[in-house]
Structure 1
C-alpha cells in the first residue's frame, strides 16, 4: 500500500474499487464490463486445502524497499544486491532477517506476447532469477510484489495478477522467489476471499512443480477482516492501511492491531505494515517504541529504510537481538493489552520459556509513570522475580512491581521471569520527576525527584543527580543521597532549575541519574532522559492559534498546517480551509489522529473554534474534535461528517498550564479524515 502525492489521484482509485481503504494509491484501470476471467486451476488433487505447510512459524523478518525508495530509479538490481550484502556484513542475517523483498515497479507496464510478466530491463538487466540467485548465494531469500487486480497500485499501472494467477505464480517459483506480497488495487469488485484464495492455490500448484515454497502475504488492508478468514489462505495479512513515517501514523496503526491478538500464531500473523525505523520522520526514542511494540505484537519485521545510508543508531535498533527474540518467540503469542489509561499502555506477551515480556509504553508528549505487576502479567506468585531490561541489556530483581517513568513517546521493554537466581541481580530502582518541565527563561522552576527501590533487596549508597544543558542552573535543595534505601522506600530530592535569560524557546535535554550498590556490592545505575521545553508566555488578548507557537504536534498524515488545510505530505502543501463551502483564513489543518499542544501558563481563559471536515476530500471523512486542559477533556464536538457545516466549539481553560487540541477518527477509519480548526482563537 502506498499513497500518491496528490489527493485527486487517490480519489480516482477509491472510485475504481468496491469500497474501503487502499493499500497502494494509484489510478484505476479502465472499467471492465465484467471481472477478468480467472485462468483455469489445475486438478483439485494438486491443491492443498490449507496452508499448514510449516512456513512462517515465526513472523517473517526482512526488508522491503517501498518506504524508502518508492518507484524511484534507485530501486534496481544493484540496490537489492547491496541490501543482501548489508544483511550479512552488518549482522542482520545473524539476527534473523532473511527476506529481501521487491515492491512495486519491478516489471514493465505490459506483458509479453505470451502473457508473461517482464522484468524492467533498466532496473533489472539480468532479470529476477539472477537477483534471486545472488540473494540465495548470501544465504537469504527473495520476495516479490504484485496485486490481486488487473493493475498494481502504482499510478503507472503495472500488470496485476487477476486472471493470470497460475501463470504468474509459476513464473515466481521458476525465478526462485520465496515470498509474495499480494496487494489489493484495481480488483474489479471480485470477492476478496476468491481473489486471495485463487493465488494461494496457484502458489501451491507452482510449489508442487518446482519444490519452491513461497510465503504468502495478503496486503488486503484489513478491508474485509482477513484475520477472521485468512489463516488457511496466507501466512500473514495486513490489518490496517499504510504506515507513514510519523508518530501519529504509527500510533494509529498500533491501536488498530493491538486488539487482534487472538488471531495470530505460528504460520498466521497479523501484519500492521512495514517498519519505518531509520527513515527520518521520528526520533530514535519513537523508533525504539515502534520496534518494541511491533515485536511484542509478534508482527512481521520488514525493514523499510535504505540500509545503505542507515545510521549506527538505526542498526542498533534493528539489530537488538533481545527485542527480536520477543518477536520470534516460538510460542507465537501476540501481546495483549493489560491497561491503557491516559495513554499509559501496559502490554504483556507470554513466552515459550514461561517468562513474560512487558512493554510499558507512553503515547503522550510528556514523561509518565507506567506500572503493573508480575502477577498481572501472568506470572505465578513468587518471593521475587528477575527483570531483564531489553534495551539496557541489564538484569535486576523486583519484589513484584514492574514500573518505570517512561519518557514521552518512549517504551520500557522488560522480560520478567521467576528465575531462582534473582538475588545475584541488583534491585530494580524506579526514577521519577514531579513538577513541570515547562520553563520560562530566567524564571526558576521547582522539581522533585524520586528514587524508589522496587527490589526484594535493599539499595545501598544511593545518590541521585539531575543535570541540564550547559549554562543552566540546576541545584539540589534537599539531600541527594542516602546510605540505605529499603524495599518499597523512596528518596525524594527537591531541585531548582533555571534556564538563562534569553534562552530560545525550544526543547532541551535533562538527565536524572541514580547510582547505588546491591547488598553483594554490585554497582548499578538507572538513567531517566527527560525533555524540558523553554516556553514563552502567551500574549494578552485574543490570538489566532494558527499564528502561535505550539509545544508539540502529532498528525495522521503530513504535518499540522498553519492557516491552511492538511496536505498530507510536505509542509505548506495545503489549500484554503473550506468547510461546507465556507472558506476560513485562519486556523489549523490536521489529519486524524491529531494532537496540537500549546503553553498557556495559567494565564488564559477560553479556546474557541469553528470545526469541521475540510471539503477537499469530497464526500469522504468523519472526525471528532476535543479540547483538553492539563489532561482533562473540557469540550467535545461529537462526530462530524463532510456533509455538515462547521460547528462552534469552546472551552474554559482558566488555570491550565497547557491546552491540547485533539482530532480523532469518526469511527470509519482515518483515510481522508481532514479536520479544520477554523478561526481557532485563544483568549488570555
Structure 2
C-alpha cells in the first residue's frame, strides 16, 4: 500500500527456503494477544515530527543533506518550539542486501556518512531520530530488507546508532500472524534498553486497536493517505469511530500529514490538521519543509490547534453528530474545556450547530469560545454554530469561563444561495441576476450593537442590497438577514469568492463562499449515454473520472476498456472511490440506468458501493460490490430532480483498488 497502489501485502519473489526459515524463527511465538505490556514511557501525547515519504518517496533528493536541512528547519522555523521532535527516515535508506554479518547497510549514495552520523546531527539540534522498515522480508518499495526474523539483531544495531523511533510496516510478511510479528519487534526494542517509540504501520488489516495497546505506541488504522480530499475524507470516516482505543502511550494513527503537498486547498489542509488534532493523531509532517509556503507553515505551527492534539488528558475526540455532511466532533480537554470541530464534508457551505451542553460542558450563564484559526475569543449563551465553507472546519475551544462578560458576543455571518439540495455547489449563471442572502446570528448572552453587513464579489460583478444591511441591535439567538442581487458578467466562468463581513460594537465576523459561474445546458430529449454529456462537476478518489474507459488511476486517458467480471462495455464512466459525478437534469429527466461493478483491472481489494441521488434523496443503491462480483444492474427514478449524482463510496474500508465502473450509464429525459 505504498509507492504503487498494487503494493499491498503482495509477496516478493523470495526463495521458499528463506520464507520457511523465517517461519521457523518465529514458530515459538504465540498468535494470541501478547502477555507482556508495552511500558516504554513514550508517546504520552501523540508523537510529532517529520517523515519524508509523502513528499519524496524514494526520489534522489531523499538523502543526507535533505535530512540535515529538515533538522535545521525544525529549529529555525519554530517547529521544534511548537512541539515537533522526531526527524524520521522512511523506505529506501538502506542497501538492498545485508552485510556479511547480516546487518543493514546504509545506502552509500544517499547516506555516505552512515546513519549514526546523521542521528548524531539530529540529536545535536535537540531533536530525535527515527527509521523505517517492514515486518516482512522486504520493505514495501522492495529496495531494502525487512526485519522479519532479524528483530533482535536489527534492534541492537538501531540502538547503537541512536535511533529513537521505529516505523514498522507490513509488506512481504510471508503470511505470518501480525500479532506474532509485531510483538517480536516490541520485545526486541525493549531488550536494547534504549527508549524507542514503536509506530506500527499494519494498515488496520487485523484491527490492531483491539490488541496493539500492549504492543506499540501507535498503530495505523487505515491504508495509506493520498494528497486529495476524497482520500482524507475516507480516512476520517474510518478513524473517527475508534476513539475508545486511544490514550496516553497508545494512539490510533490515520497516517501522516499531507499538508503543503499541493493536492488540496488551504481550506482542506486546515480541516486535515484540525481533525487529526481533534482525533489525537500523531502529527508527522509529510511535506518537504525546504519548499514549504508561508501558508503551510502557518498551519503546521498553529499552537492553539497543536495544544488540542497534545492535550495531556489524552482523549481522542469523536463525532457527536453526523448529519448531511455536517459533522460535530468533541474532544474533552484537561481542566474541563472542550475542543469542538464543526466539519463540513459537503461541496457547498452549510451552517453547523451544536451547544455547550451537547459538548459536555456544565450549565453556566455563558461560555467563552475561542476560534483556534481566527485566534479570537467570544462569549456565547450556549449555542455553538458557524456557517462552514465546503470541506472546511471551524475549530473552537469552549470553556465555562466566569470571565465571559469581558468578551464580545459570538456573532457569525453566513452567505446563502438557492441550491437544489443541502451541501450542493452554489451555481450562478453568467449574466443572470441571482438572489444572495447574508445572515448574521448572535449566539452571545449580550446583544450585538450597531450591526453592519456588506457583501463583496469579484471585479466586474454587480452587487446591490435588496433589503436593509444594518440593524441597531441583535439579541441573543436572534438573526438578521439581508437580500442582495448579484449579477456576474456574461463571460464569467470558473469558481469565484463571495465574501460577507459584518461589524458590530467590539467585534467583527466574516465568511466566504465559493460559487461556480456556469451556463447550465438542458439535457437532450430521449435516452443518452452519460459519457456523451458534460457533467457539472466530478470528484474522484484517484486520478480523473474517465469517459468510456476504466479509471486507470494516474493521468487522463490511462484507463482500459471497461470490463466487469469478464464482460466488456464500450460506453460508461470509470471512477474511483470516493467519487461523485453530477449532471444537470433541469427537472426534465425521468430515469438513470447503469451496470455497475469493480473493474477487472483490479483483481483484489476493490470494495465499493454505487448510489444514485436525485437532488438530496438517494433513489438507488447497489449494496457492497467487490472484485469478485459480476455487474449489478442499477436503475433509478429521478423525476423532478434538478441535479443527478452518481456516487461511489469506499465500502467503509478505505479506497485501495476501488476502481468503480458505471458501465452503459444512460439517462432518459423528456
What is the TM-score with the length of structure 2 in the denominator?
0.94
Q: 1:30 and 1:592 mapped to 2: Cα distance?
A: 36
Q: Is the 8 A contact 1:440 1:534 kept in 2?
A: yes
Task: Name the residue aligned to 1:23.
Answer: none
Question: Among residues 395, 399, 403, which one is paired with 1:421 in the alignment?
Answer: 403
Q: Is the 8 A contact 2:9 2:172 kept in 1?
A: no
* 1:510 equivalenced with 2:501 (yes/no): no
Question: Among residues 442, 445, 448, which one is paired with 2:434 in the alignment?
Answer: 445
SS in structure 2 at match of 1:34: helix
Task: Name the residue aligned to 1:528.
Answer: 511
SS in structure 1 at match of 2:181: helix
670-679 or 593-602: which moved more? Answer: 593-602
Shift of 1:366: 0.6
Shift of 1:536: 2.2
SS in structure 2 at match of 1:392: coil
* 1:203 equivalenced with 2:189 (yes/no): yes
Task: Name the residue aligned to 1:160.
Answer: 146
* 1:328 equivalenced with 2:316 (yes/no): no
Q: Cα distance 1:496–1:459, how it changes in 2: closer, same or farther (>3 A)?
A: same
SS in structure 2 at match of 1:322: helix
Structure 2 residue ranges without an equivalent (≥5): 29-33, 419-425
Q: Alignment RMSD, CA only?
A: 1.9
SS in structure 2 at match of 1:286: helix
Question: Among residues 455, 458, 462, which one is paired with 1:469 in the alignment?
Answer: 458
Task: Name the residue aligned to 2:172.
Answer: 186
* 1:34 equivalenced with 2:16 (yes/no): no
Q: 1:602 and 1:382 mapped to 2: Cα distance?
A: 50
Q: Is the 8 A contact 1:627 1:636 kept in 2?
A: yes
Q: Is the 8 A contact 2:10 2:172 kept in 1?
A: no
Shift of 1:223: 1.1
* 1:86 equivalenced with 2:78 (yes/no): no
Question: Among residues 246, 250, 263, which one is paired with 2:245 in the alignment?
Answer: 263
Q: Is the 8 A contact 1:48 1:201 kept in 2?
A: no
Q: 2:537 and 2:327 mapped to 1: Cα distance?
A: 20
Task: Name the residue aligned to 1:216.
Answer: 198
Q: Cα distance 1:421–1:479, how it changes in 2: closer, same or farther (>3 A)?
A: same
Shift of 1:28: 4.9
Give the alignment of 1:193-592 within 5 angstroms. Answer: 193-207=179-193, 212-436=194-418, 437-504=426-493, 506-517=494-505, 522=506, 524-541=507-524, 542-592=527-577
Q: Cα distance 1:298–1:555, how it changes in 2: closer, same or farther (>3 A)?
A: same
Q: Deviation per CA, 1:389-419, whole angstroms, max 9, x where unpaired? A: 0000000000000011110000000000011
Q: Is the 8 A contact 2:234 2:650 kept in 1?
A: no
Q: Cα distance 1:318–1:543, how it changes in 2: closer, same or farther (>3 A)?
A: farther
SS in structure 1 at match of 2:556: coil
Question: Among residues 39, 44, 56, which one is paired with 1:57 in the alignment?
Answer: 44
Q: 2:431 and 2:146 mapped to 1: Cα distance?
A: 63
Q: 2:653 and 2:45 mapped to 1: Cα distance?
A: 32
SS in structure 2 at match of 1:615: coil
Task: Name the residue aligned to 2:120.
Answer: 133
Equivalences, count: 653
Q: 1:325 and 1:551 mapped to 2: Cα distance?
A: 41
Task: Name the residue aligned to 1:115.
Answer: 102
Task: Name the residue aligned to 2:584.
Answer: 599
Q: 2:654 and 2:220 mapped to 1: Cα distance?
A: 15
Question: Among residues 648, 654, 674, which one is paired with 2:659 in the alignment?
Answer: 674
Shift of 1:429: 1.1
Q: Is the 8 A contact 1:63 1:302 kept in 2?
A: yes
Q: 2:385 and 2:392 mapped to 1: Cα distance?
A: 14
Q: 2:202 and 2:76 mapped to 1: Cα distance?
A: 34
What is the TM-score with the length of structure 1 in the denominator?
0.92
Q: Is the 8 A contact 1:151 1:185 kept in 2?
A: yes
383-392 or 642-651: which moved more? Answer: 642-651
Q: 2:162 and 2:37 mapped to 1: Cα distance?
A: 22
Task: Name the residue aligned to 2:421.
Answer: none
Give the alignment of 1:649-668 within 5 angstroms. Answer: 649-666=634-651
Shift of 1:187: 1.2
Q: 1:250 and 1:136 mapped to 2: Cα distance?
A: 33
Q: 2:604 and 2:54 mapped to 1: Cα distance?
A: 29
Q: 1:607 and 1:465 mapped to 2: Cα distance?
A: 43
Shift of 1:260: 0.6
Q: Cα distance 1:605–1:489, how it changes in 2: closer, same or farther (>3 A)?
A: same
Q: 1:293 and 1:336 mapped to 2: Cα distance?
A: 10
* 1:624 equivalenced with 2:609 (yes/no): yes
